[in-house]
Each structure stands twice: as C-alpha cells, then as structure tokens.
Amino acid sequence: MNTYRNIPSIIISVILLLLPFTGYPQETEKEAIDSARTTMIDDIKQAFLKPADSVRIYSWTVSKLGEITRIPFDTAAINYASKTLVDSRSVAMGYLGNLGSPAENKIFFGRPEREDFIFADGYWPYLQKPDQFHFMNTKVPYANITYNNGGEKGHNAEQFKGAMSMNFGKKFNIGFDFDYIYGRGMYESQSTKDINLAIYSSYISDKYDLNVLYYNTNFLNYENGGIKDDRYITDKEAIQEGGQNIPSYNIPTLFIDTWNHIKGNRFYFTHKYNVGFYQTAPGQEAASDPKKEFVPVTSFIHTFDFRSNNRRFLSHDKNIDTIYGSHHLPVDSGYVVNDRMSYWSLRNTVGIALREGFKKWAKFGLTVYADFDYRHFTLADTTMNGTLTEKIYKEFSTKIGGELAKRQGSLLTYRANAELGLTGVDLGEFKLTGEIGTKFPLWGKDISIKGKAHLLNLVPAFFERHNHSTFYWWDNNFAKTKRIYFGGELNFPYTRTKLTAGVENITNYVFFNKEGVSEQHDGNIQVFAAQLNQNFKAGILNWENEIAYQKSSSPNALPLPEFSAYSNLYIIFKIAKVLTIQPGIDVRYQTSYYAPYYDAATQQFRMQDEVKIGNFPLLNVYLNAHLKYTRFFVMGYNIGSLLFQTNYFSLAHYPLDPFYIRFGLSWNFYN
C-alpha cells in the first residue's frame, strides 16, 4: 500500500529530471439519459456516492462551447500491444518508420483538419487537441506508468508515459500527463525525441464548470530524406555484394546532419456559469427529507485559447543542395541551412446557451456564440541588398455561430452547428455541420443509425499561403476551399457489424505538388469511401476485421490506396481466474498506389509518380496479458520481412522497420 502512495512522487521526480532537455534542439457517445432533468453534474455526484469498489474514475472531453461528453476510461484487457503502434491509429497509416516521426492517415475521411501551423500537423498521433483531451474526476488518487521498448540495441525506440490525477473534494481535480519518446532509429539519421507534457484541472459544480489545460510539446527529428535506393528493400540480392545481408542502419540515406525541431505551448480554459433552479429529485417526493437537484436553464460560456509554435530546420549536409537546388535565403560560410518560422494566436469565444431539458417542452438546446481570433506569424525575408531579416504577418478574425442540439434520450439525437466569418482574413468563411442519430431494439440489442453532413467554405492554412525558407518560397493568393460531404453509419451489435460510408466533393483543394510547392487544384475532386468492421467470436476464438475502400477522382492531387484491410485473429482465456492471456496474430494490407513522399524541408507529404508502395502484408505476432491493474505484452513486429521478400514501405522511399521484438508494460495505481 505504501508503494502505491509513493507512485505520484516518483512520476513527478522523473518529469523534473527530463524537463531540462525540452529546450535542446532536438465519439465516444454520451450515455442515454432516462430523464430529461438528469444532467452530467448529477452523474458525477452519483459516482462519488457509490461503494468504494465501483466507479473510480470519471473521464470526459469538453468542447469550446463548454459541452461535456463522457468517455470510457481505458482499462481494456485486450489488444494492448497493437495500441502502442503508430499503425493502430488507422486501418492504413503512412509514416517514416520510426516511432515519434511525422505521419499521415491514408484513409482520407480520417484526417484531422489542417491547422495554420502546418508543420506540426504530422505529429497528430502523439497530440490531443483541447476538445479531445481526457479530463478526469477521481474517487481515489490515480497514477499510471507505461513503458514500451522495441528494436535492436542501439537502434531501439522507447516510450515512457506517466499520468497522475487526484481530487481535492468532490468538485476539484488536478492532474498531469507526460509522454516521452526516444526513437534511435533502425535506419541512418532517423532518430526522434518527442516530449509532451499536459497539466490540467477541473472544477465541476451545479452552477459553475471550469476545465483548464496547459500543453507543452517538443519534437526533435533527425531527418534522412528516405533511403537512396529502394532495392535495398525490394531486391536485396541484386544490390548487396556477395549476397551479404546489410543491416538496415547501414543502408545509405539521402542526407545526414539534418534536423527539424518544433516547440509549442498551449494554454486553454473553458468555463461556464449556469443559471437555474433547484427541485425535488425524481423518486424523492414521498421522502421526509427529499434530495434536491439543480436544473440548469441558461449557461454563460467563455473559452480562452492561446497557442504558440516555432520551427527550426537545420542542416550541415552540403549534399542537400543536390536534392533541393537553389537558395532563396543566404547561407553562411560554414554552410548551415537554418530556417526559422513562428506563430502564435489568441482566441476568445463567448456564448450563451438555453439548456436542453429544463422543462418537458424544452426538447433541445440552443447556443449562440462569437469568436475573436488574433494571429501573429514570423517568417524570414531579405532586404534589397540581400541581408537576412524578418517579415511579420498579422491576421484578425471575427466569427459568429450557433448550435442547435438534442443530446438526451436515444430515440432521436441531433446536432447542427453554423459558423460565419464576419471580418478579417476569414471574411466569408463558413462552416455548416450536422449529424443525426437514432436507436431501436432488435433481438435484444440496440441498432444505431447515424447520418453526418457538412458544407464548408474555408480559407487555406496560413503556411499553405505563405512560406519563406532556404529551399521553398511562395506567397499564394488562394481561393477558399469548398467541401460538401454526406455520410452515414449503421451499427449492428448483435452481429458485431458496423458499416460506414461517405462521399465528398472538394473544390480548390490545396496540396503539395511533385516539386514540393503548395498548389491549389483547379476544379473539383470527388472522394468516396466505405468501411466495414466485422468481428466474430466462437468460444475463446476471436477474429476482428476492418476493411476500407476509397476512390479519389484525381489521384495526381489526392492519391489514396483503394483497398485497405486489418485482420486480428486471437484466442483469449484466463489463468487462475485473474490473469487474462491473449496470444494472436494480426495483419495490415493495402493495395499499391503512388504514396506521397515526406519532404523534410517543409514537413509535408508531397506528390510523386516515381514509385508505387503497398501490396505487402505487415504481419505481427503478439502475446498480451492483463492482471488486475497491470497490462503487459511482447510482440514480434513485421515478421514478413523475415519470411519472404517484400516491399515493406510506408511512404515513398521510407521503409517500415524490419523485424524486431517489442515489449511493454502499463501499470495503474489507485490509492
């Protein structure tokens, strides 16, 4: 028991030791509510009134309009090994091979919306945006330690994660998350060092809600531009002298002594004051001392969001000129490419909401809000005589919006949000999004149906419009990008089946062409996608499957693998009724296509038509185990690279890691 009490202090000590290095260059659905009067705050209160061995942790996300959505806390006893891989973020992922490196979702409808600071977009698998962050309320102090490791000694990738959360009373919580990745790299000049630190707090009461988040990010990537000759992977016998097997870390790469370093800070808080009344709780009418519940009628909302990012692209490799050519900025006598750019923004959102369910006739909630955003960008520039200087861009935006939503009940739920830019650079920009869902019972299980749609008219991201650097220079006057999407989802729990499909038309799509330059597609692009999740179970045998089909009408600007699949076959059983064992094998596959090439100088995924990648199985064998509060695993990653000659590239010229052994441990503490 004393060990448990010491865990929080141990985690804090580790973080304090690691923090000095950060400066170096280096839907889920909300549960249906039986009564329209029941609110999220009531759920929190009830959780704390339950016995000590019942609900321990309450977790949620919160939108910029202060809307709290409850999510389940991750204590899953299965598939832990797979979840530690970058590949697990989608049925098809593209990345540089190493843990912690930039990545792109190859399933188009799974890609996050572009940010103004596009250089950090590739790190989305390792980040949580404020509206995705998991806040907590804990009945007892909670801590977690997670450690994963894999790869040959000296070229392995390690990840250490720590978390702690504790309450001071029933309403106030404070906690932190820490994520440290050090990937030495299975290929030359490929190492990564990523540090994420989140400190958060919440105060939830009848009349006042507050959620606060500070997020610090630090990503350092050693860049190699990919391998020089793909035959080291695709035709080893032809290129390796005397049939000698060359280790992956001895395969020549495009360049060395080159780094990308991104640092970021974000301070975010959203709070809400509720006006309403107290009334006798349902079922308490006959009680001598009936309990009272608070019924919110109107909420006043304010959200503050400050973010800052800066990027440095540094290279001492003179051979990099043979890749990128002429310079747009002067290079010093020691030949150092040293590109710098930065960004910060300050956003305030204020709103007022009429709450759903305060009376029987109030079947929906209505929110109106205004958004004020100031953005500041710094890029390199030159004077008339060629001297290096800086250029400042300032942008201001005012938007108004409204949201109509019915979240309570299960027969019918819906949400519609409209947002319009009134002034500044976002003048004329609008977003109209909506979703609708229903459930009905069949064979003892609820079948759910959802529909989604959006109509968007978006200003392209700032760094898609402007970029001043040594090898790339553009100032584009792009038109707004228009996107129209319709889609839906069917979920059949009885047969363990889920089917999703959607179609989108995109006008003025922005992409990075074969030269690595930001370009706007002239015309329309249509994308269709459908995805099937089908799971089977027979006794201890389980078979999980995910199949995706997608089609782009313009593969030159938006290439996509047409067919992708994931299959996971395993058995699961218990030993001595407490130890859960899950041995299994999984495989990922996608058809070949002209996958993009990751350009280190822009950190973007640009078009190429030289080589197709895909048409190979990424095969892993694993053993997961779960014992009370502890999860651990061992995995053999990419065993296909041992079994047969294969084309195991993730992106053009960027192969996946060859076979290695991976293991990990995650331990929860409650005390």
What pLDDT, in 10s, does the model give residues 199-252? 999 999 999 999 999 999 999 999 999 999 999 998 887 776 655 678 899 999
What's the CA angle centered on 557, arms 554 and 559, to 5 degrees? Answer: 75
Evaluate whether 520 touches 483 at the Cβ level (below 8 Å). Answer: no
For residue range 493-518, what is the model confidence (pLDDT) as tens digits? 889 999 999 999 999 999 999 999 99
Does the pLDDT of residue 39 top 70, yes or no? no
Confirm whether pTM is higher than 0.75: yes
Does the pLDDT of residue 332 top 80, yes or no? no
The confidence band for 35, taking pLDDT boundaries of 50, 70 and 90, is very low
For residue range 119-133, what is the model confidence (pLDDT) as tens digits? 999 999 999 899 999
Residue 53 pLDDT: 37
Give 566: exposed, middle or buried? Use CB within 10 Å, 0-12, 13-18, 19+.
buried
Q: Is 343 left (phi over 0), alpha (psi -120 to 50) or beta?
A: beta
Element (H, E) at 7: helix 2-18
- How far is it, in rounded angstroms, from Cα 10 to Cα 13? 5
Residue 606 pLDDT: 97
Does the pLDDT of residue 74 top 80, yes or no? no
Weakest-pLDDT range from 193-197, 368-372, 627-631: 627-631
Please report, rounded to a whole number, the percentage of residues in the chain having pLDDT higher than 90.
Answer: 75
Residue 513 pLDDT: 97
Q: Mean pLDDT throughout 25-53?
A: 37
Does the pLDDT of residue 8 top 90, yes or no? no
Pick 188 or 22 by higher pLDDT: 188
Does the pLDDT of residue 312 top 50, yes or no? yes
Residue 503 is encoded by which pair of tokens? Answer: 């179609």
Residue 443 pLDDT: 76
Does the pLDDT of residue 94 top 50, yes or no? yes
Instruction: Give the SS3 label for residue 479.
Output: coil
Does the pLDDT of residue 36 top 60, yes or no? no
Beta strands in 407-540 (DSSP E): 413-424, 430-442, 445-458, 466-468, 473-475, 481-492, 497-507, 510-512, 518-520, 524-538
Q: Distances in Å between the alpha carbon of 178 and those of 17, 157, 188, 218?
A: 12, 17, 28, 12
Does the pLDDT of residue 454 top 60, yes or no? yes
CB atoms closer than 10 angstroms to residue 551: 15
Residue 543 pLDDT: 97
Q: DSSP assignment, residue 626?
A: E
* CB-based contacts of 298, cutoff 8 Å, min separation 6: 274, 275, 276, 352, 353, 354, 355
Residue 397 pLDDT: 96
Mean pLDDT, the chain, integer: 89
Residue 189 is encoded by which pair of tokens? Answer: 């000049």
Residue 269 pLDDT: 95
